[in-house]
Amino acid sequence: MRTPLHALAEHGQSAWVDYLSRRFLRDGDLARLVERGLAGVTSNPTIFQGAIAEGTYYDDQLRELLAVEPDPKEVFLAIAREDIRSACDALREVFDRDRDNRDGWVSLEVDPNLADDTRATVTEAARLHRMIDRPNLFVKIPGTRAGLPAIEETIAAGIPVNVTLLFSLDRHRAAGEAYLRGLRRLRDSGGDLRSVASVASFFVSRVDTEADRRLDATGGHEELKGSLAIANAKLAYQGCKEMFSGAEWAELAAAGASPQRCLWASTSTKNPQYRDVRYVEQLIGPDTVNTMTTGTLEDFQDHGRIADTLERDVDEARSCLDRFAAAGIDYDDVTAVLEREGVDKFAASFQQLFEEITRKRDHLART
């Protein structure tokens, strides 16, 4: 049966889901979505924290783990290993039939507390890669200043990377350049470029949330509300097309390299005054991914409109950034604040996850 997700793929965009839990796996929800055209899974500490807190799906494994392992992080990694491996296996057929490394990927994030530590991030990425032991695992590394050299090192080691928490055009380009440097090093060391891939997770709706807040604080400029995030993403896509073209890229591509694709993240609508699927409908274009919450995925399948929109009004997108500057909104500060808040949010979720494991331990000890 042809679904809206299949139609999206016909326009060159892959639909992934930004959710994972043991219930989601065991009840067959993921498998059913794959049948409907879903092509990948992303996860983060917030998602895992919520998954472990819900229901009793993890209780038996927690009992076993907590009897021998006192460190909550190691307990979490053992839980994540099972869920991520199961998701990788559920998407393996998608991965195997896609020779261009586009789809079938599942993402697991490095500890966000390491976001400012390059060497520790590299070590953790390699550990997660070994731990999951699946060819369709993306290790998520934040595109922070310290994360950029870690991305290069990880790609050079032959490990696929999902670069996360990208908000600015400069940082997005830097992530692409880090990927290219890693590819060159992998090629020069005799590695197989076909074994690696990368996506650059460019966060969308949070940009409007922060920009609109600042517009409210300054007063006026109502016409600018809800416009920065989509303009920002459209310009990121143009930058991606530039980076992965030309003679130098053609040489890497001939050796088996695949381009780093734009992945639109944070695409659920935060402002109830905006259309609920606007950050999907307005960013449809070839060689891209949109990872959606289950709610946004359902909404899009119900009433999403599909058309090639990503390269519409690119000149308007460029002038949009100028208009924000004229209104006194500092784009660089907006994106810097969002990056730091994103790292802090995921770090806080990691801590809450450890607290949830401790709470579960105490509860299970009483039952």
Which domains occur in the chain, in start order? Answer: 4-358 (3.20.20.70)
Q: Give dist(CA 231, CA 3) in Å, integer.
A: 28
What pLDDT does 321 receive?
96
As beta bridge partners, residue 202 has: 166, 264
Q: Give dist(CA 118, CA 124) in Å, integer.
A: 10
Residues tagged active-site: 140
The DSSP line for 170-219 is HHHHHHHHHHHHHHHHHHHTT--GGG--EEEEEE-HHHHHHHHHHHHHH-
What pLDDT does 361 receive?
78
> Strand runs (DSSP E) across the chain, as ranges?
13-17, 40-41, 105-109, 137-142, 161-166, 198-203, 261-265, 288-292
What pLDDT does 55 receive?
75
What pLDDT does 45 receive?
84
- Closest of 230, 223, 217 to residue 328, by C-alpha: 217
Residues ≥6 apart with Cβ < 8 Å to 287: 12, 102, 259, 261, 262
What are 192's two structure tokens?
A: 């197989």
What pLDDT does 165 receive?
97
Geometric angle at alpha carbon 156, from 155 and 159, rounded to 5°: 40
What pLDDT does 277 receive?
98
Per-residue pLDDT tens, the chain, 367 aa: give them: 789 999 999 999 999 999 999 999 999 999 999 999 999 999 988 898 888 887 789 989 999 998 899 899 999 999 999 999 999 999 999 999 877 778 999 999 999 999 999 999 999 999 999 999 999 999 999 999 999 999 999 999 999 999 999 999 999 999 999 999 999 999 999 999 999 999 999 999 999 999 999 999 998 899 999 999 999 999 999 999 999 999 999 999 999 999 999 999 999 999 999 999 999 999 999 999 999 999 999 999 999 999 999 999 999 999 999 999 999 999 999 999 999 999 999 999 889 888 888 887 777 777 7
What pLDDT does 1 receive?
77
- Closest of 152, 340, 331, 350 to residue 228, by C-alpha: 331
Q: Give dist(CA 296, CA 281) in Å, integer.
A: 11
> Strand runs (DSSP E) across 94-222, as ranges?
105-109, 137-142, 161-166, 198-203
Its sign, for the CA torsion 90, 29, 106, 60, is negative
- Report the SS3 class of residue 144: coil
